[in-house]
Amino acid sequence: MPPQSRTGPKTEPARQAIDHDFHLIRCRAGDGVLYFAEAERTDVAAVIAAIASAQIAHPERVFAFNPAEGWARDVSEDIARAVAQQLRNEMNGPTRGQRDFIEDHCGVNTLLQAADALLTSADVD
């Protein structure tokens, strides 16, 4: 019986399992130690939700990669902007960890815009 080809049916399900974007969140612990946060889901929406809801306390960088396509990149700025937008939409002020993450990747102006939205909505109520 001939051996299975590497490109045959057995490898296709394995490729499908890794052919999507994964995200890793590098965080800083209180003692300055860096670690990667464990997440049940690693899609972009789950990462934004985890940071915006403070499930991830001190995010420092977010990396995206797709093993099947062979690429990886730092998406910290994109995620920080999305977190700031979500905080604005939910009218929540940022935690210190969220604030540091947004300031580091988007600058203070992004946070000031979020604060203005909170103040404006408070004035209306």
Is 59 among the domain residues? yes
Is 36 among the domain residues? yes
Domain count, the chain: 1
Is 1 among the domain residues? no
What is the edge-to-edge ordering of all strands in the sheet holding 71-74? 34-36, 22-28, 59-66, 71-74
Share of the chain above pLDDT 70, in %: 69
Is 8 among the domain residues? no
| Domain encompassing residue 43 | 20-124
Q: CA separation (Å) from 4 to 9, 15, 23, 98?
A: 9, 16, 33, 50
Is 82 among the domain residues? yes
Tokens for 70, please give them.
């062979």
Is 69 among the domain residues? yes
Is 32 among the domain residues? yes
Is 44 among the domain residues? yes
| pLDDT tens figures, 38-62 | 666 788 999 999 999 998 889 999 9
Other C-beta atoms closer than 10 Å to the C-beta of 102 total: 24
Query: For the chain, what is the mean pLDDT?
Result: 79
**DSSP helix/strand/coil, 23:** strand
